[in-house]
Amino acid sequence: MFPQDPITAVTHPDPYAYYAYLVGHRPLYYDDKLRLWVASSASAVATILTNHLCRVRPANEPVPKSLLGSPAAEIFRRLIRMNDGERHCPFKQAVSAALASIDAVQAVQQSDKWARFLLDEGGSKRLSRFAYHLPVYVIGSLLGVPSDLLHQSALWMSDFARCIAPASSAEQIERGKTAAGHLLETFRALPERQDGLLSSLAREAKRVGRDETDVIVANGIGFLSQAYDATAGLIAATLLALASRPGIRDQVSADPELLRPVIQEVLRYDSPVQNTRRFLAEDGIVAGEKMKAGDAVLVILAAANRDPSVNPNPERFDIFRKQRRIFSFGVGAHACPGEALATTIAKAGVERLIASGVAFGRLAETVNYRASANARIPIFEEE
Mapping DSSP to helix (H, G, I), strand (E, B) and coil, where does residue 368 land?
strand
pLDDT tens-place string over residues 197-241: 999 999 999 999 988 999 999 999 999 999 999 999 999 999 999
pLDDT tens-place string over residues 292-340: 999 999 999 999 999 999 999 999 999 999 999 999 999 999 999 999 9
Asked if residue 8 has pLDDT above 90, the reply is yes
Q: How far is CA 105 from the centre of its chain?
A: 23
Q: How far is CA 185 from the centre of its chain?
A: 24
Q: If you ran DSSP here, which 8-state letter would residue 273 be given?
A: B
Residues 117/134, Cβ–Cβ less than 8 Å: no
The band of 364, judged by pLDDT with boundaries at 50, 70 and 90, is: confident
Average pLDDT over residues 73-80: 97
Mark residue 69 as left, alpha or beta (left: phi above 0; alpha: psi -120 to 50; beta: remaining). Answer: left
Alpha-carbon distance 27 to 57, whole Å? 23
| DSSP string covering 297-335 | EEEEHHHHHT-TTTSSSTTS--TT-TT----TT-SGGG-
pLDDT of residue 123: 64
Asked if residue 369 has pLDDT above 50, the reply is yes
Judged by average pLDDT, the poorest of 19-33, 79-93, 229-243, 307-321 is 79-93
pLDDT of residue 85: 83
Asked if residue 88 has pLDDT above 80, the reply is no
Share of the chain above pLDDT 90, in %: 90
Average pLDDT over residues 147-162: 97
The band of 126, judged by pLDDT with boundaries at 50, 70 and 90, is: confident
Give the number of other CB atoms < 10 A from CB of residue 192: 9
pLDDT of residue 89: 78
Residues 141/110, Cβ–Cβ less than 8 Å: yes
Name the CATH superfamily for 8-380. Cytochrome P450 (1.10.630.10)
Asked if residue 113 has pLDDT above 80, the reply is yes
Asked if residue 178 has pLDDT above 90, the reply is yes
When the pLDDT of each residue in the chain is averaged and rounded to a whole number, the result is 95
The band of 382, judged by pLDDT with boundaries at 50, 70 and 90, is: low
Asked if residue 193 has pLDDT above 80, the reply is no
Asked if residue 383 has pLDDT above 60, the reply is no
